């Protein structure tokens, strides 16, 4: 037990700033959902629809960027700073191209959004908000690249501080622009989109200022911007790691995105309840993501230093840590399932009572899958530190789409369970993923 306490402290020290940075992302999502929901329940359903489409595909780019962390952490562990710099420079170009192409793809998809069989009022209100979210992907991706690089160098407090600043700006702008306070125009859902775009631009600009201003980071920047720093091998390395991670994340987020679309087939109330439940699940999930990214760095550093005898205990301790946290969260969600929906909606709305009742059912399911959700994301982080990507990607495809979406569709429609059936399917997918990813890590041989 003494050994595990040592590694618990190590994970907490490395991951705490990353977790705090993730929590700011959560606070932005929560503030968006609460403020939009209190403004109008149709706007809440529209934001759920737009966010589901954007997030479903944007997570591929996020996963691609996560591929920067393991090789940089490994190179940094061996003090190969020129190689770290090459990873940063090549990565920033790659992610700029990917984010621009993704934005263009989102724009081209606008005429087809009406074919997803959602309520007409939801689609009409969602499109302007959707377009702002799509544009914000470019600065967001470039910031994430700088964040991953900084965290790989164990400088986790820098992106955390920048995230906190952006969170405050986003919440303030939400309040001003959604409700039209202090002379600002009342833009409703569109105001939330404007706030997101501005805060993400601020994220990137602030992080760039930090990189150019601080000598530690400036050593990794080539001020000549020579094409000679570009490397086919590094592009290939980043792609070989990042693409499977991106696919793995798309399979997971895509499952929840498709679940939102299926919820829209049921009713706008079901879609609104889905967004609230997803918001709560996302909150605890992002803490698990923070632990996962920390353990990726820890495991990659051990690989770089050839301390293979410490890898198993490092990975297991991260899993035990997140299980403890998620068990506490499960209890709190179950305990307060009746109060949580009231944070998100205006009780004066005619369909408020129905949304609350549906949300309470979904929060019970969220509580059930908390620990398995934490296990699967941290186990994936352990495997990324080992650059073991392809098999976990196949596991995600099977768990989320065959078990999660396939099972959810059967439970929801042929078996008549409705929105609860969709979420029980997702729960089964998360359980499957946690079992298989843990098995994959445990069977690794390092001797």
> In this structure, what DSSP letter does residue 397 have?
I
CA separation for the pair 51, 261 (Å, rounded): 11
Q: How far apart are CA 298 and CA 290, in angstroms?
A: 12
Distance between CA atoms of 41 and 46, rounded to whole angstroms?
9
pLDDT tens-digit series, residues 207-254: 999 999 999 998 888 655 566 677 888 999 999 988 988 888 888 878
Q: Is 104 helix (H, G, I), strand (E, B) or coil?
A: helix
Q: How far is CA 173 from CA 21, 32, 138, 329, 344, in A?
A: 19, 10, 20, 29, 18
pLDDT value of residue 404: 94
How confident is the chain (447 residues) per 10-residue block, as mean pLDDT? 70 76 72 80 83 84 90 89 90 94 95 85 91 95 94 87 89 92 91 93 94 90 67 89 87 84 88 87 87 86 83 90 94 93 80 90 95 94 89 92 94 93 95 95 79
Q: How many residues are listed for the chain in this entry?
A: 447
What's the confidence (pLDDT) of residue 412?
Answer: 94
Rounded Cα–Cα distance for residues 294 and 311 (Å)? 13
Give the dihedral of Cα atoms 393, 398, 401, 404; nearest 10 deg.
-120
Rounded CA gap, 358 and 336, in Å? 15
pTM score over 0.85: no
pLDDT at 111: 92
Retrieve residue 315's tokens: 């990975």
Six-digit token string for 338: 């009746």
Which two structure tokens, joined as six digits, stand for 354? 């129905």
Rounded Cα–Cα distance for residues 297 and 305 (Å):
12
Task: Work out whether the CA dihedral 82, 88, 94, 97 comes out positive or negative.
Answer: negative
- Domain ranges in the chain are 2-442
Q: In whole angstroms, give the CA distance from residue 440 to residue 375.
A: 12
Q: 3-state DSSP call for residue 275?
A: helix
Q: Residue 386 corresponds to which tokens in the numbers above? A: 């080992």
pLDDT value at residue 323: 94
Detail the DSSP E strand segments found in 123-273: none
CA distance to 72, 86, 179, 233, 301, per residue, from 83 (Å):
8, 5, 49, 12, 15
């Amino acid at each position: 037990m003494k050994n595990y306490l040592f590694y618990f402290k190590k994970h907490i020290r490395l991951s705490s700033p990353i977790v705090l940075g993730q929590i700011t992302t959560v606070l932005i999502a929560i503030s968006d959902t609460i403020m939009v929901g209190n403004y109008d329940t149709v706007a809440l359903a529209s934001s759920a629809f737009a966010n589901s489409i954007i997030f479903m595909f944007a997570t591929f780019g996020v996963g691609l960027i996560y591929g920067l962390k393991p090789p940089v952490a490994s190179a940094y562990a061996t003090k190969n700073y020129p190689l770290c710099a090459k990873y940063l420079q090549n990565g920033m170009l790659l992610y700029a191209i990917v984010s621009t192409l993704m934005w263009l793809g989102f724009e081209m998809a606008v005429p087809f959004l009406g074919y997803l069989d959602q309520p007409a009022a939801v689609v009409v209100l969602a499109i302007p908000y959707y377009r702002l979210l799509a544009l914000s992907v470019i600065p967001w991706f470039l910031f994430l690249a700088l964040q991953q690089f900084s965290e790989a160098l164990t400088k986790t407090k820098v992106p955390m501080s920048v995230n906190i600043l952006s969170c405050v700006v986003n919440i303030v702008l939400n309040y001003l622009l959604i409700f039209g306070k202090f002379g600002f125009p009342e833009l409703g859902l569109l105001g939330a989109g404007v706030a997101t775009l501005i805060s993400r631009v601020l994220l990137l600009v602030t992080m760039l200022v930090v990189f150019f201003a601080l000598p530690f980071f400036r050593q990794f920047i080539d001020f000549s911007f020579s094409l000679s720093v570009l490397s086919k091998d590094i592009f290939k390395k980043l792609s070989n790691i990042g693409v499977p991670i991106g696919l793995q994340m798309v399979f997971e987020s895509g499952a929840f995105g498709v679940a939102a679309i299926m919820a829209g087939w049921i009713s706008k109330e079901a879609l609104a309840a889905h967004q609230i439940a997803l918001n709560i699940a996302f909150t605890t999930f992002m803490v698990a993501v923070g632990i996962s990214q920390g353990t990726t760095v820890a495991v990659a550093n051990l690989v770089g230093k050839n301390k293979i005898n410490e890898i198993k205990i490092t990975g297991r301790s991260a899993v035990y840590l997140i299980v403890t946290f998620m068990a506490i969260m499960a209890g709190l969600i179950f305990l307060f399932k009746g109060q949580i929906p009231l944070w998100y909606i205006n009780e004066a709305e005619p369909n408020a009572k129905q949304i609350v009742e549906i949300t309470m059912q979904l929060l019970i399911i969220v509580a059930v899958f908390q620990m398995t959700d934490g296990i699967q994301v941290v186990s994936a982080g352990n495997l990324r530190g080992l650059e073991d990507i392809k098999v976990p990607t196949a596991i995600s495809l099977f768990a989320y789409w065959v078990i999660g979406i396939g099972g959810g569709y059967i439970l929801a429609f042929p078996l008549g369970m409705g929105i609860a059936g969709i979420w029980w399917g997702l729960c089964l997918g998360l359980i499957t993923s946690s079992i298989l990813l843990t098995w994959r890590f445990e069977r690794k041989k390092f001797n």
